[in-house]
Structure 1
Amino acid sequence: MTSTPRSRRLAALATTTALCAALPLGTATAALVTDPVQTSAPGAAIALAPVGTYETGVFDESAAEIVEYYAAGERLLVVNAAQAKVEVLDASDATAPTKLFDLQTTGVAASDGTTVDAGAVANSVAVREDGLGVIAVEADDKTDNGWLVFFDAAGDGAALGAVRVGALPDMVTITPDGSRAVVANEGEPAEDYSVDPEGTVSVVDLPASVSAPAQSAVRSAGFHAFEGAALPGGIRVYGGRVDAGTGTPTYPVSENLEPEYVAVDQQSRTAYVTLQEANGVAVVDLRSASVRDVWSLGTVDRSKVPFDASDRDGVAIRTYANVRTFRQPDAIVAYQVRGATYLVTANEGDTRDWDGYSEEVRVGDLGKNGLKPACDAVRAGDGFANVGRLKITKADGLNAAGTCYDTLYGFGGRDISVFTSDGTLVSDTGDQLERITSGTAGVLFNSDHGTSSADNRSDDKGPEPEGVAIGKVNGRTYAFVGLERVGGVMVHDVTDPARPQFVTWVNNRSFAANGSSDLAAAGDLGPEGITFIAGDDSPTGRPLVAVGNEVSGSTTLFDVTKAVRRGR
């Protein structure tokens, strides 16, 4: 989950509070769009149909990010980062989810003697089958340690207690067996890089009852064992306090690695944690609460896998010599096939772009303002004249002499990948996401999520696949992926990990409207969190998919239907 800058959250908080106060509980301010964008593969077994939505009425302030479902109470739990809270929605009528109350996070006394401060921000939520819920809460100063706040999902919003975890707890999940909570503590630096906390993963042993654990139940997995030469190849370590000129850390690797998202295997023994900016995955042994391994996600070779690299050329999906992009997934999920664990990643891309240090440059700026130039062979390579607008990193790609860039590294795979549990790439979707979105009627290709404008994300990270959920329907296993920028949910059949098959894409968005000026007509903008609700747990008795949309501030439920045998 890409973090929303704290300054932006706090600046908007007073405004959004006033806006939301004007709305009675349960009020939705916008309907589903009348004609959602949809296309399906020939012979697709399923499709998605938007059936109900809840709107906060707050635009572009992360008012609906992560969404979780509590089956016994037919409740949706939605992180509203704009107001630093988690909203509880009654989803018993899937066509009209309504707000019940907010979960308490600030002012809660923690087991270590601290209190969740008034400026704390809710980042993530998870719930156990019996109703024990947990919220990852970031401190007012994000470089301070945060908390996990516990609650009863069947209750009225009162907190059960809290424990202290690492800096900027960004994503929390509960193991399939319900025995532990696992939280990725991102440890982002201060904007000026005066402080850069170590990234860690907290493992919390949970009580059997619906109650808060003690602080002694918290253990921390860090990266000290991977300092220096012990760090595996391919893991990006860059842009820390040394590059910012603000200090020399004792543990530079540990400060540099920033855990983002957690998946847990079916046996509840191992967690797989994305290190998004570093382009890696940490493998955490949950019994010992230690990082057992770190492996690289590799890069996409753009001389073989086409993409659109410019925001000024319309739809131009093509190959480029000497260009690679880091996969850098946000969300990751684990599933099992014939006893083996596989990992599905949504390869969004992310950068280090702070006041104290920024890695972002455009290809066309190489050789200017103190930047090293592209090497002659790169400049003479196929497609170089058309790649000048692409955003790349200045931290990677220099030749051995350090005199010029012999490889241009961009951000984000713009695809969905399947890996084995030891980091072997099994399959990916290549250029499929951009091909599908560019060839579907009614779509503005690579549009941003706040305004409707074609091609304006091609130079950056394209459609940005971000959230991913796994679900089984009629014996088949599907990956449901939210495309953060252009919008919608892309579905692939991953029953065979080696051959993911596109099934359908639906986008509850009207490209005829600009969200910034016409929120009510725009539909869903900026899908962030996504969860699959099995038919046995669903209020309708049919599978549902719930999506939190951070830009439109909407939470939308999609019914998993039998496919209509047509495309558009």
Structure 2
Amino acid sequence: MRRRPVLPALALVAAAPLALLAAQPASAALVPSPPTVSADDAALTLAPIGTYESGVFEEGAAEIVAYYAAGQRLLVVNAVAGSVEVLDVSDPTAPVSLFSYDIASEFVGVANSVAVRADGLAAVAVEAAVKTDPGRVVFFDAAGNGAPLGSVEVGALPDMLTFTPDGTRVVVANEAEPDKLTNTIDPQGTVSIVSVPSTVSAPAQEAVQTVDFLRFDPPTSAPLPEGVRVYGGVPGSATPIADSLEPEYITVDSSSSRAYVTLQEANAIAEIDLDAAELLEVRPLGFKDWSADVFDGSDEDGPLDEKGDPTGLINLASWPVLGIYSPDAIASYSAGGSTYLVTANEGDAREWGENAPNEYLEEERVEDLTLCSNLDPALQTDAAIGRLNVSIANGYDADQDCYSELYTLGGRSFSIWSADGTQVFDSGSDFERITAELLPEFFNSDHAETEFDSRSDSKGPEPEGITLGEVGGRTYAFIGLERIGGVMVYDITSPTEASFVTYVNNRDFEADLESPEAGDLGPEGLTFITAADSPTGAPMLAVGNEVSGTTTLYSITAAATDPGTVPPIDPNTGGPAGELAATGAETAGAVLLGALALVGGLALLLVRRRRTA
């Protein structure tokens, strides 16, 4: 694995406000000077140029976005309304709603995801009113006025779907979570492969194939690879492993023959042969060693204020903790003739049946656990990581009846993996270090509440969405930070040599969160728009923000300087040909040196956070 060295020098800039054209209904004002930080040698800039406001706060009114290039239309999932808003973005500075495709008029349920083919065939993943029942994929024509085309039944809780690059199939991640209230029903996680017509029309039910995980349960009982997390299921289930493996997100390789599926809670990725509709492998992702890196693990590690209440502190430090990557979104690209996977390491806990007989709540604070003698009791103080949420499913020593290891959910990072599951890059502590430098007064704030340091005890900035795009012959990853907000951009042209480019956050932390002036809160879905498909002739990024209910378009501008010739990629290392990937010890040392430099400049900065009564 290649860990990235210390970040290059960063340039803090305030983006100049961009003038909008004539005001349009539901078009919101942009944040005048969105916080921005870039590497000195950044080869591109990212700037918000237009946004559409649903007017609905914290109801998932703008989650997943998909772009229909021929019509210059953006499709936006409004989850709770059970609809897809279709926006005209021919003028990206002033998006306009054309119509809303109301799925709820046909099916009672929640819209979770949308994808669209080049000819306008749109597919929407819709979970049933009872989420443990089978869901549906609904098809409509995005090229016209949203004419409904039909639907097919798929597995329980279809959470995400995507077309294969060749447009012949829709692949659906059926997450199949348990019922939240009682935790007595837990359907099997599956992946649906739907062969679709070449015309703008819906497939028949017979076109649906299902890939499951039953081979790991009796009677076959194939061995599950060590490290795949299976826990917290419904007691007495005959298929506990198939129940526990919950597909979250899918990427399909450029050949349209392989799908890679994140199994978030299991901390694993499944590989599926789409031609054979067959599960090939389930690969565990391993754990992140936070003793060799730094993160902020407490929201109450500062001194007491004048009222005697604890305060927060930017305190990036190493701790004897292992991170469970638990990725949400996944994307893929080719470098040097090999496929690489890129994940946003969000983290997610199982929390089912609270106060019910089958209650399972995965997370507890370190201060509430019984630690084994190998762990220092001082870890349980607020000044250390006593308030850090950790998983009770890992690290428990049954013989001693105590926890000998601590596992926290999420990697607070993004990672690049070879197709066989080998990690070749992780962004380490970059996201917290960058946001600490740029936004010290709002470090680790939440998306629905502006409170300094409030997310440090639980997954930090929480990277969730990711998309990839090519600009000027180089490949970039765009990663959305769900909690504090904003988009990180990395150059991933050489998989082992990925480097930070820029970070932009279209959020005004001083504004009323429910006002348009607050900007974007809770980025969820991101989609890259190529220059060839863009209404401006230049690449753009579209972001759906689930908390603010806004959909924002960003311009992507290549720097005037030549970024240089892209070196050939060595397929054995993922790095430039003729170079070996650096060892973990070398890069970990570099990261720690960088972290110590940051701590020297920032960690002693006490920012007393506002507390609610």
Establish whether TM, by shorter chain, passes 0.5. yes
Structure 2 SS opposite 1:94: coil
Write out per-residue CA displacement over residues 481-507 of structure 1, whole angstroms, 9 at most, x where no aligned residue: 000001011000000000110000000
Partner of 1:521: 517
The runs of at least 4 consecutive aligned structure 1 residues that moved more than 4 Å come to 380-385
Partner of 2:225: 232
CA distance change for structure 1 residues 352 and 383 in 2, over 3 Å: closer, same or farther?
closer
Q: Which amino acid aligns with 2:229?
A: R
- Offset at 1:441? 4.7
Distance 1:174 1:555 in 2: 22
Partner of 1:319: 318
Structure 2 SS opposite 1:341: strand
CA contact (8 A) 1:331 1:468 kept: yes
1:52 aligns with 2:55: no
Distance 1:126 1:562 in 2: 28
Structure 2 SS opposite 1:216: helix
Distance 1:26 1:277 in 2: 42
Tell me whether 96-105 or 459-468 shows the greater mean CA deviation.
96-105
User: Which residue of 367, 382, 391 maps to 1:364?
Assistant: 367
Partner of 2:455: 457
Structure 2 SS opposite 1:52: strand
Q: Which structure 2 residues correspond to residues 166-177 of structure 1 after superposition, within 5 A?
A: 166-177=155-166
Write out per-residue CA displacement over residues 185-217 of structure 1, whole angstroms, 9 at most, x where no aligned residue: 000100111210000000011111111000000
CA contact (8 A) 1:320 1:383 kept: no
CA contact (8 A) 1:104 1:157 kept: no
User: Which residue of 231, 235, 245 maps to 1:257?
Assistant: 245
- Offset at 1:526? 0.3
Distance 1:402 1:498 in 2: 41
Q: Which amino acid aligns with 1:312?
A: E
Q: Which amino acid aligns with 1:124?
A: S
User: Which residue of 204, 218, 223 maps to 2:213?
Assistant: 223
Partner of 1:208: 198
Distance 1:564 1:128 in 2: 34
Structure 1 SS opposite 2:403: coil
Distance 2:371 2:222 in 1: 29
TM-score (norm: length of structure 2):
0.83
Distance 1:135 1:316 in 2: 43
CA contact (8 A) 2:395 2:403 kept: yes
Q: Which amino acid aligns with 1:377?
A: N
Tell me whether 351-360 or 47-56 shows the greater mean CA deviation.
351-360
Partner of 2:234: 241
Distance 1:564 1:403 in 2: 61
Write out per-residue CA displacement over residues 422-472 of structure 1, whole angstroms, 9 at most, x where no aligned residue: 100111111111000100157611000012111000000100111000000
> How many residues end up aligned between the 2 structures?
518
- Offset at 1:30? 2.9
Partner of 2:608: none
Distance 2:556 2:360 in 1: 45
Unaligned runs of 5+ in 2: 1-22, 302-312, 562-613
Give the % identical residues. 55
User: Which residue of 289, 297, 300 maps to 1:301?
Assistant: 289
Q: Which structure 2 residues correspond to residues 497-512 of structure 1 after superposition, within 5 A?
A: 497-512=495-510
Partner of 1:286: 274
Partner of 2:386: 388
User: Which residue of 549, 553, 556 maps to 1:553?
Assistant: 549
Distance 1:333 1:295 in 2: 16
Partner of 1:120: 109
Structure 2 SS opposite 1:82: coil
1:374 aligns with 2:377: no
- Offset at 1:379? 2.5
Partner of 1:9: none
Distance 1:424 1:381 in 2: 35
Partner of 2:589: none
Partner of 1:199: 189
CA contact (8 A) 1:37 1:442 kept: no
Partner of 2:298: 310
Distance 1:538 1:29 in 2: 19
- Offset at 1:26? 5.9
Write out per-residue CA displacement over residues 212-257 of structure 1, whole angstroms, 9 at most, x where no aligned residue: 0000000000001123561111111001012xxxxx1111000011
Structure 2 SS opposite 1:436: helix
User: Which residue of 127, 149, 155 maps to 1:138?
Assistant: 127
Write out per-residue CA displacement over residues 282-325 of structure 1, whole angstroms, 9 at most, x where no aligned residue: 1111011121100111111111121100012311010012x111
Q: Which amino acid aligns with 1:553?
A: G
- Offset at 1:480? 0.3
Quote the RMSD (CA, aligned, Å): 1.6
Distance 2:78 2:495 in 1: 34
Partner of 2:25: 27
Partner of 1:179: 168
Partner of 2:259: 271
CA contact (8 A) 1:302 1:320 kept: yes
CA contact (8 A) 2:379 2:386 kept: no
User: Which residue of 541, 544, 567 maps to 2:540?
Assistant: 544
- Offset at 1:564? 9.3
Q: Which amino acid aligns with 2:374?
A: A
CA contact (8 A) 2:82 2:102 kept: no
